[in-house]
A and B are shown apart, each in its own frame.
Chain A
């Protein structure tokens, strides 16, 4: 018996196949993972992400604290509600977790971290808080979270809210959120589609789910969530990066704000890595032969071996795709060892899919 989100009964009612995910009883699918994936690419789907960890960081020192804690710089957040994707690093530049930080208003940030990493993350947040006097760190176990994603997702969700709320939801730009009443709605997600992530008090979530269901939003499980994020070229913590890998070899260099004077945990290690030379690159692979790429398969290149960090089947491209960490300098075609056979794959730029469309034709990546 694992932890259950406020939507557990709603999942059973919708015919979910439940699996254990980091100690949580979560829906893997409601019948067909591929149908759920397609609903998000072409219409609207919803995911219970209430197992994720919501933490409010407040006080006069909140900004300085997060500037020290995170590899990206929350000072970039000027407009209320704006969101920032960042890694939280250890002293050796490894990734403790990746997260989204929302700047709600002065002296108040909301941070969403992963589920499997909750205990160690909360301990780390506390451990780093010591030097800051005016700082509140509050784990929000009372908040549930639902992602509504797809080209029709915003429209379907907005219709369910009151007039004054609709206006504020309409006006949200990408990567921005707004608070009203007990609700926080952000135009963010993990699928490569437009949509919202909605946080509200746990007891209100089953009613929201029910109304979205009636509005034609399809329940989607963790299976579809994984293939959607993979197509969108979005990293998964624990697969694509962890405490032993630097963001600089995980395709996350763009999330590290290195150039200014700001000191953050892990910065010196990243500077040392840069001056020693980055020896690996993080790439997309499209399988040219038949089969399916999987996590941890060996990638053979003329420059040496690499490894697939996330591999699966892409329902949109109807090919197998993967993200991989390979020796720097490898390009063109490589081979992947699948059950003692070497299969051909092509290195491509990420993402594979954006807003329902294949990106393989862009930049001469098509085979």
Chain B
């Protein structure tokens, strides 16, 4: 069974969000990294760019497949995890820690209401496990 931390919010496309104040830290879930296998390349939105909830904003690629990654919330990208460029395997080893992808200054905190909680996300992946 994959790890689904209770304090995070989720998209059914396997992104997680940690909201602190109006800053959202975004990554992909343990389940996603298990499905993809060893990651070898990550393409993230640029710092300073604007993203909108639901947009495809990057790509994560494992040895076997490429997968789009979607923005869970709207706002400006204020920080990008530069370490992933050289070490994408951080997502495999620590998807909720060192493997975080980028941070967004949220424009609309109400968007959080549209995200899945840990229980709902666990249900969406239960069929796949």
Please list the residues of chain A having a beta carbon within 8 angstroms of any beta carbon in chain B. 17, 28-29, 32-34, 223, 227, 290-292, 294, 312-313, 315, 320, 339
Contacts and interface: CB of A to CB of B under 8 A. Distances in A.
B78 interface: no
Given A290-B41, A292-B40, A313-B40, A33 B64 contact: yes
B66 interface: yes
Given A33-B63, A33-B64, A223-B64, A291 B41 contact: yes
A32 B38 contact: yes
Given A227-B63, A312-B63, A313-B63, A292 B41 contact: yes
A292 B63 CA distance: 8
A34 B63 contact: yes
- Which 6 A-B residue pairings sit nearest by Cβ, starting from the closest? A313-B40, A34-B38, A292-B61, A313-B63, A33-B38, A292-B41
A220 to B, nearest CB: 13
A227 B64 CA distance: 9
**Which residue, A223, A227, A292, A312, has most C-beta atoms of chain B within 10 A?**
A292
A296 to B, nearest CB: 12
Interface of B: 34, 37-38, 40-41, 43, 59, 61, 63-64, 66, 89, 92
Contacts of B34: 17
Nearest to A29: B37
**Which residue, A29, A34, A294, A320, has most C-beta atoms of chain B within 10 A?**
A34
Contacts of B43: 290-291
A7 B63 CA distance: 25
Contacts of B92: 32
B45 to A, nearest CB: 14
A291 B37 contact: no
A338 to B, nearest CB: 9
Contacts of A227: 63
A292 B40 CA distance: 8
**Which residue, B34, B43, B64, B89, has most C-beta atoms of chain A within 10 A?**
B64
A291 B64 contact: no
A136 B40 CA distance: 49
28 contacts: A17-B37, A28-B37, A28-B64, A29-B37, A32-B38, A33-B37, A33-B38, A33-B64, A34-B38, A34-B40, A34-B63, A34-B89, A223-B37, A290-B41, A290-B43, A292-B40, A292-B41, A292-B61, A292-B66, A294-B66, A312-B63, A312-B64, A313-B40, A313-B41, A313-B61, A320-B40, A320-B41, A339-B59
Contacts of B64: 28, 33, 223, 312
Nearest to A291: B41
A132 to B, nearest CB: 43
Contacts of A313: 40-41, 61, 63
A34 B39 CA distance: 9
Contacts of B61: 291-292, 313
Contacts of B89: 34
A155 B66 CA distance: 38
B81 to A, nearest CB: 16
A18 to B, nearest CB: 12
A313 B89 CA distance: 13
A120 to B, nearest CB: 26
A192 B37 CA distance: 23
A32 B66 CA distance: 17
Nearest to A35: B38
A196 B61 CA distance: 32
B85 to A, nearest CB: 8
A313 B38 CA distance: 10
Contacts of B41: 290-292, 313, 320
A43 to B, nearest CB: 18
